[in-house]
Each structure stands twice: as C-alpha cells, then as structure tokens.
Structure 1
C-alpha cells in the first residue's frame, strides 16, 4: 500500500527545489579546490570553527566509524541556528546529498546544503536504520545522570558547550544536532533506536555553506555506538571511540557564478499584533 506524500512540498523552481546541477558540480570538482583549514577533533572532545559563505566543509572518519554531533549557527547572528525539527519536515529525518539544513524562525532559510555523502548508498537497512540522523539529539550529562546516577563531563552537549565558549556562546546556544555517521530509526514500538555506524576509514559527508557559518562538532563519547550506553547491557565504549577530521575548502569561483546567499524569510507581518492607539490619535 503506498504511503502518503510528504506534508511539505513545492514545485520546480519553488522554495524547496534545489539546483542539483550546481551542487553536483561543486561536489565533483575536487582537484582544484583550495584547503583553507584542516584539523582533527580528538575522541570525546569538541571544536568550533567558521565556514565562510560559498565554501565547503567536509567531515570524515579517518580511522573508521565514529559518530559526530554537529551544531550550526549564523556566524553573524547566533540567534539563527539549525532547526532540526523543521529540517526533518522539509527534507528528511536522515539527510544525504541535496538535502538542506534549515534555520530557526524568524530567519527560515537554508544554512547549508549536503553536496557529498560517501554513505548515500546505505539507504534503509533491514532493521529500519538510516544514516546521518536528525531524529534524535545529543547525549547530555543531565540524562546520563538520570539514567546512571553518575556525572560524566564529556557528553556531546558538554563537548559542544566547551567548544563554543571562545565564540562568546554558552550552553544555552547549544541546540538539537545533526548526528553525522549515526545509524538510527524507530522500532516497532515507535521508539528511537541507535545501532553501530556503518562508516569505514575515509567516509565523509560534505556541506556547502549558504551563509557565513559557525559550526561545532563533538566526537561522541559513544564512539561508533556498537556498545550500549545505557541499560543492562551497557559497557564502556572507549575502545570504539575514534577521531573525526574537518576540512574547510574553497571551491573554484566559477562554480559560484549566479549563486548568492539566501535571504531570510519574506514574512513581514506582526503575527496579528497591531499598533496600539494612543489617546488623542486618529486613524
């Protein structure tokens, strides 16, 4: 029996349509890119960095499977940040090539577009799992304390909190994440599950920055998630923790011909609020 169509959709050339030819060219022209920055995020840690508009950012698994928790903000106004729930509705619960990561209200525009994904072949597995998850969120010390009775300072929420401090941000700016390389789904009881990441050495996901971005990444303390973190089978996943690599890349400028950063949402109303009439004023 066919499933219902997606609730949010638009036609060719409209808001949700993507210039696939442009992003495919950006993904394929790798030989003449210029590397602007490259670094490694060690296990159980986090780091933040800037990506200028019109640049690419590649996150990869140099030593094998490892989950990363990604946050994204507008570099110029961190009140604008990735909106995971709306991205799930406008794109998918697990993103891949040509999907976009959308920002919060009142901005509502694509922050980044996925240009390349070495795990795009994975699709839907026999247990209902998919890769690059927007269903769940980051692990955090509050839930960990609730479930285990212990404090742990290197959950993804904490790693991201430390990472953004040099940029003047705090714990309150950390938000729901894109879990790169993480395989998740919903079980028969409609409950969230996580399973071992299928990434291998050198797998990657790559993003095109639609505006000037601040990004932050945590190397999840659960590693590749092949070890249960909570419950009766829980163990220490330290042995399956690996680093992640980040590159910021400038593409050939001719590939950007005709491209411009997206404008913020066009809505200019006042949510039904009207100017109060002061005594003595008239229409």
Structure 2
C-alpha cells in the first residue's frame, strides 16, 4: 500500500487558505431567488455574467454530461482561473469548500464551491475522482494532430465562440475545470478519463467571490463512455446531453460580514529597481 504524504501547501487557521465553513454552509442553505437560467445545448458553449455575492449552479438536466468551465474577472479578463495553482492549493479534483483561484498577480478566489451532489463519489476502483483540474479542454489542434481531421465543436472552439460577444478571443480561453468529469492517473502515470457518473438532476454550485464572466462548453465527448481517439474511437454523439445554468440571488442578510477577497499585498517588484533616467539620479 502506498504511504500517504502531507500536502505541500498547508492552511493555518486564519490564513488566506482557511475557509469559513460556517459562512459557506449558510450560503448553501440560504433562501434564494432565481435570477437567470438557461440551457447549453450539446456541442455548444455559452458565456454569462455572475455578480459578486450570487451563486450559480451547473446542472445535468438529462443525465451524464461533461462540461468545461472557464472563469474571468468580469472587469479584467487578465484575472482568470489558474487551474495549476488551484490543484496545488486545493486539490486536483474539487468539491465543497474548495476554491478556484485566479492568476498572478491577483491570486485570489474567483469562486468557492458551496454544494456538490456528487460529493459522495469519492475514489472509484480505478482511482478516478470527479470535477477534474488534472486535464484541460479538448481542442481542434490536438484532434488534427491525432486524426488528421478538422472538427469545430471541441470545447476550446465552443468556448471561443461563447466569449466572442464579450470581446474576448481564443487567447483568453484557458485551462478549465472539467465539471462532472471523472479522471485520474493510471499506473503508468498517464491521464485517463472514464464514464461520467452524473445522473439527471446532479449539480455543482459555486459562490461568486467577485464579479465574474463564466463560460461553459458541453463537451462533444458527452459522458465520455465512448472513446474519442485511438483504434476504438467513434463519434459519441449518441451520449451527448445538454447542461443547465442557474444563477441565484441570496436572501437578504446572508452576506453579512462577507468581503470580496483581496490580492496578496506583495510589493517586492521581483527584485528589480526602476531604471536610472539618462540624466542621472535626482
């Protein structure tokens, strides 16, 4: 049996990594009113805004389906989800009380997960877990590399189309949270994806820590029960299903005491000094 080893990044009580579980439990159980809802059809993408202090749910209305999620600060798209740092600070697969962190130099929570109907999935017999930050979005470039064919409905392309009306481009699309996706590393330390365990009605809910622009792709691999590449690959259209988005306003008083998170107050300028002007020091 493999010995367990402690995580590198530890949260001291009261530190920025320490989560106020009482507050987020209150958020999860608070009264709420529906502000917006819509369905993302199969093999498409959709972007939407969420205000700081709202919660939103990604729902599987018809059964298993993987969704690829991008998140940006609504006012500054340079601040966006940093999947690799989130893996280090939280976990490679996330659930309730985990946060999705933003890129440098901002490094603050974008969202905190408040509810997860698949939280009890745990670890399966293959070492698979759900809500994956290990991998990233499928894209037409890898598809061309592996198959020699063009396909315009991979998650990367779906996200590109989704954010275009908001003034963003392909260069703004970034590594994703694979919602409802079950993944792990096999004995050869290689990434695997297996059948999505979500059922109709399953959901992942997040609290917006700041004003957000979110985008979701309904993966063209559907529930990933059919191989996308390799000798047994075929078009998995038959296992593709839509995903739903629900955005909620919370009852008055729920957010009492909450403040939007701040970036670390680093002022070291990376060890660099301002250049000396050509006329010398004053």
Fold match (TM-score > 0.5): yes
Paired with 2:248 and 2:207, the residues of 1 have a C-alpha distance of 9
- Correspondence 1:167 to 2:166: yes
**Does residue 71 of structure 1 match 2:70?**
yes
How does the TM-score come out when normalised to structure 1? 0.97
- Structure 1 unaligned residues grouped into runs of 5+: none
1:259-270 mapped onto 2 (5 Å cutoff): 259-270=258-269
2:240: which partner in 1? Answer: 241
Query: How far has the Cα of 1:278 moved from its partner?
Result: 3.0
Number of the residue aligned with 1:15: 16
Further displaced range: 190-199 or 264-273 = 264-273
Question: Could you tell me how far 1:2 is from its partner in structure 2?
Answer: 3.6
CA distance in 2 between counterparts of 1:276 and 1:79 reads 26
Does residue 25 (structure 1) correspond to residue 26 (structure 2)? The answer is yes
Q: CA deviation at 1:35?
A: 0.7
Residue number in structure 2 paired with 1:93? 92
Deviations 1:195-220 (A, max 9, x none): 00000000000000000000000000
Distance 1:238 1:280, change over 3 A: closer
Quote the Cα distance in structure 2 between the aligned partners of 1:158 and 1:43.
13
Q: Which residue is equivalent to 2:179?
A: 180
The answer on 1:58 being equivalent to 2:57 is yes
TM-superposed CA distance for 1:96, in Å, is 0.2
Structure 1 runs (4+) greater than 2 angstroms displaced: 276-283
How far the C-alpha of 1:282 sits from its partner, in A, is 4.2
Deviation larger for 194-203 or 2-11: 2-11
**CA distance in structure 2 between the aligned counterparts of 1:282 and 1:182, rounded to whole angstroms:** 58
Provide the secondary structure at the position in 2 that maps to 1:242. coil
Superposition deviation, residue 10 in structure 1: 2.2
Q: Which residue of 2 aligns with 1:115?
A: 114
- The equivalent of 1:82 in structure 2 is 81
Q: How far did 1:37 drift?
A: 0.4
Partner of residue 143, structure 2: 144
Q: Count the aligned residue pairs.
A: 281
TM-score, scaled to structure 2: 0.98
Q: Give secondary structure in 2 for the equivalent of 1:121.
A: helix
Structure 2 residue aligned with 1:4: 5
How far the C-alpha of 1:280 sits from its partner, in A, is 5.1
CA distance in 1, matches of 2:278, 2:22: 59
Say if 2:92 is the partner of 1:104: no
In structure 1, what is the Cα distance between the partners aligned to 2:85 and 2:264? Answer: 14
Partner of 2:196: 197
In structure 2, relative to structure 1, the CA distance for the partners of 1:244 and 1:273 (3 Å cut) is: same
Distance 1:247 1:105 in 2: 29
How far residue 277 of structure 1 moved from its aligned partner, in angstroms, is 2.5
Query: Which runs of 5 or more structure 2 residues have no equivalent in the other structure?
Result: none
Offset, 1:97: 0.1
The DSSP-based 3-state class of the residue aligned with 1:253 is coil
Q: Distance in 1 between matches of 2:42 and 2:137?
A: 15
Alignment partners' CA distance in 2, 1:10 and 1:59: 28
Displacement of 1:276 in angstroms is: 2.3
Shift of 1:279: 4.9
Cα distance between partner residues in 1 of 2:277 and 2:76: 34
Structure 2 residue 219 is the aligned partner of structure 1 residue 220: yes
